[in-house]
Amino acid sequence: MGLIRDAVLHLHNEQPLLVDLFALPTAADACVVCTNVRTLAGKRPLFVDRSDSYFLFPLPHVRFVEIPASAAGDLGGGAARDLDEAEGEEPELEIDEDLLRRIRES
């Protein structure tokens, strides 16, 4: 699996950053590992000395990670397929007859 290019890293109380991810963060991760950190305008942020370095952002400082649809093919395995299948599909709702009966009786 290659890099996930042009992901947007949204940090708490900071402007979003464009990054290249090595992999999607998982629940077991303590930080997001990335490279090629830049602003949304494509410029090097002030805190970055070398953009080709590896950067580790602690997960408590990350609000969320935005993966562009164009990078969905780089996710590998079934993740890209799952994203494609989930898109446009509405979940099938199961009707709880007992709940409906209690609502009607009240």
Domain ranges, ordered by start, for the chain: 1-76
Which pTM was predicted?
A: 0.66
More confident residue, 101 or 88: 101
Q: What is the pLDDT of residue 6?
A: 92
29 has a pLDDT exceeding 60 = yes
- What CATH code is assigned to 1-76? 2.30.30.100
- pLDDT, tens only, 43-71: 999 999 988 899 999 999 999 999 988 87
| Chain Cα centroid distance, residue 104 | 42
Q: Who contacts 82 (Cβ-Cβ below 8 Å, separation ≥6)?
A: none
pLDDT tens, residue by residue, 4-24:
999 999 999 999 999 999 998
